[in-house]
Structure 1
Amino acid sequence: MNILITGGTGFIGTKLTQAFRKDRHHVYILTRREQTSEHPYIHYIKYDDSNFNNLDWTDELPGSIDLIYNLAGASLNEKWTEDYKDLILSSRLNITGILFLWLQKSGIKPLAFINASAVGYYPTSEIVEYDEFDQLSSTNFLSDVVNRWEAAAANIESLGIRVVFSRFGLVLDKDNGALPAMEKLYKANIGGDIGSSRQWYSWVHIDDVVNALLFIGFNQDIRGPVNITAPVQVRQREFSKVLSAVLGKANFFKTPAYLIDKVLGERALLVTEGQKVHPRVLMNNDFKYLYPTLEQAMENIYSG
């Protein structure tokens, strides 16, 4: 099969590429920078993100593409200045617009267009549980980005292509994402409760993320929003207890929310607030988790 991935050099994109390469599928990675690969199944294609109408990069694609994963976008782990917030949004909308134009002009119809998204679509709450059947308006910057990105991707449905919005939770991996930063706090003996400690962490193991992306790519019955989270969510205080136990480190330090607000500004909501997000679509379609509980996920991550 031929797979096209944007954001293929990022955290999740790299893991997904490895999975497809292992099964001997050809992966075409759309990138803004010149890159090469000696692997026969990995192909880098440079595109011009400053010119929507320049589709010269498509000359390097094969005649058919079976799946598209649109994972590109500026990182959320930078200071949210007004200029950077513009980049967070524009980087997602621009690449989606380029892909729409190419699909519209080429007439290529992959099995699915899987668009990255986030559980930030849902409002923060300590008491409400959300699933994919909740249709909600924007409540903050992050939810506005998600809504506008999903709306841009939804245009591709008009081309007769199945579109999926993969709403990622807190992705756990030993070397990437938020977990390494959390680990450093515990190893420095300053791990523990953050803010109220009642905020929900809708987490998911990276292996389950990759398997879920493969699952929804090939399952023709799945379309629209899909929450990629574990089936058992936890509050921050529970998360900290499990992490401290697996690391064998103390769990007594308390960080007030106002200190995090002062350091991170608007971005603090990623740490001090959260939402309980249930993966109803995956569960209804009998997706099998490797690590359904946080204890199982953490034991796997730190067992080596």
Structure 2
Amino acid sequence: MNILITGGTGFIGSRLANAFIKDRHHVYILSRSSATSEHPYMHYIEYSMDNINQLSWTKELPEDIDLVYNFAGATLNKKWTEAYKDEIVNSRLDMTKMLIQWLSDSGVKPLAFINASAIGYYPTSEIVEYDEFDRLSSSSFLSDVVNRWEAAASQAESLGIRTVFSRFGLVLDADHGAMVQLKTLYQANLGGNIGSGRQWYSWVHIDDVINALLFIGVNQDISGPVNITSPVPARQREFSKVLSAVLGKPNFFKTPSFLIDKVLGERALLVTEGQKVYPSVLLNNDFKYLYPTLEQAMEQIFSEA
């Protein structure tokens, strides 16, 4: 198959690209800078976002792209000034609009358009459990970003393309994402409850993320929102206990919410609040998790760290 990935040099995109080329699929990665690869199945295509209607980069693509994975977007792990919040939104919408324009003009449509998204779509709650059948309006900056991004991507549906919104939870990996900072805290003996400790962490192991994305790509029965989370979410205090046990570090330090708010500002909600999110679509389609429980995931991550 021929696969197009935006955000293909990022945390998830790069892992997905490597999974595809391992199985001898050709991967085309859109990149803002000039890049090359010695691997015969990895291809980089330079593009510019200065004019999203400029589609000259498409001339470097084969006519028959089978799958499109759209993961491009500014990181959330920077201070959310008003200017940077605009960048978070615009970086996602502009790339998506450019892809939709290309797909509109393309004579051969891909089998699926798989857009990145997030469980930030759902309101934070310590009580309510959500799944893909819940249809909700924006309740925060993050949910507004998700709603607008999914609305832009949904235009692929009108072109007759199966469209999926991959709502990622807290992705666990030893060398990327939130686990890096958490591991540092525990190794400094500062592990423990964050805020109330009752907030839900709907986590998922990186290997299950990649397998889910591969599964979604070839499963023609899956479309619309898909929660990419473990079937067994955990409250933060439970998450903390498991992490401390695996690392062999104490778990008594408590970080109050007001201190995190002071340091992180609006993005503090990423750690002080959460959602209990259930992956109904994956489970209903018999997706098999490698690491369904937090203990299994943590043990695997730190056995190789």
TM-score, normalised to structure 1, is 0.99
Cα distance in 1 between the residues matched to 2:245 and 2:34: 44
The Cα of 1:108 is off from its aligned counterpart by 2.5
Secondary structure of 1:30's counterpart equals strand
Counterpart residue number, 2:284? 284
Secondary structure of 1:39's counterpart equals coil
Secondary structure of 1:227's counterpart equals strand
Superposed, 1:95-114 pairs within 5 Å as 95-114=95-114
Amino acid of the structure 2 residue aligned with 1:113: F
Secondary structure of 1:148's counterpart equals helix
Q: Which runs of 5+ in 1 are unaligned?
A: none
The yes-or-no answer on 1:178 pairing with 2:178 is yes
Secondary structure of 2:75's counterpart equals coil
The Cα of 1:31 is off from its aligned counterpart by 1.1
For structure 1, which segment, 31-40 or 132-141, has the greater mean C-alpha deviation from structure 2 after superposition? 31-40
User: Structure 1: which 4+ aligned runs deviate by more than 2 Å?
Assistant: none
Amino acid of the structure 1 residue aligned with 2:107: G
The yes-or-no answer on 1:274 pairing with 2:274 is yes
Secondary structure of 2:166's counterpart equals strand
Amino acid of the structure 1 residue aligned with 2:302: Y
Counterpart residue number, 1:198? 198
Amino acid of the structure 2 residue aligned with 1:154: S
Counterpart residue number, 1:92? 92
Counterpart residue number, 1:14? 14
Secondary structure of 2:264's counterpart equals helix
Superposed, 1:239-250 pairs within 5 Å as 239-250=239-250
The yes-or-no answer on 1:264 pairing with 2:264 is yes
The Cα of 1:107 is off from its aligned counterpart by 2.6
Superposed, 1:1-304 pairs within 5 Å as 1-304=1-304
Q: CA offsets per residue over residues 233-272 of structure 1, 9 Å max, x none?
A: 0000000000000000000000000000000000000010
Cα distance in 1 between the residues matched to 2:108 and 2:38: 27
Q: CA offsets per residue over residues 170-215 of structure 1, 9 Å max, x none?
A: 0000001110110000000011000010000000000000000000
Q: CA offsets per residue over residues 108-148 of structure 1, 9 Å max, x none?
A: 31110000000000000000000000000000000000000
Secondary structure of 2:176's counterpart equals coil
Cα distance in 1 between the residues matched to 2:104 and 2:163: 14
Secondary structure of 1:171's counterpart equals strand
The Cα of 1:63 is off from its aligned counterpart by 1.4
Secondary structure of 2:217's counterpart equals helix
The Cα of 1:279 is off from its aligned counterpart by 0.1
The Cα of 1:53 is off from its aligned counterpart by 1.4
Q: CA offsets per residue over residues 268-294 of structure 1, 9 Å max, x none?
A: 000100000000000000000000000
Cα distance in 1 between the residues matched to 2:235 and 2:80: 25
Aligned residues: 304
Q: CA offsets per residue over residues 86-108 of structure 1, 9 Å max, x none?
A: 00000000000000000101133
Cα distance in 1 between the residues matched to 2:265 and 2:74: 18
Cα distance in 2 between the residues matched to 1:107 and 1:168: 31
Cα distance in 1 between the residues matched to 2:40 and 2:51: 29
Q: CA RMSD in A?
A: 0.5
Cα distance in 2 between the residues matched to 1:129 and 1:112: 29
TM-score, normalised to structure 2, is 0.99
Secondary structure of 2:136's counterpart equals coil
Identical residues among aligned pairs (%)? 76
For structure 1, which segment, 144-153 or 99-108, has the greater mean C-alpha deviation from structure 2 after superposition? 99-108
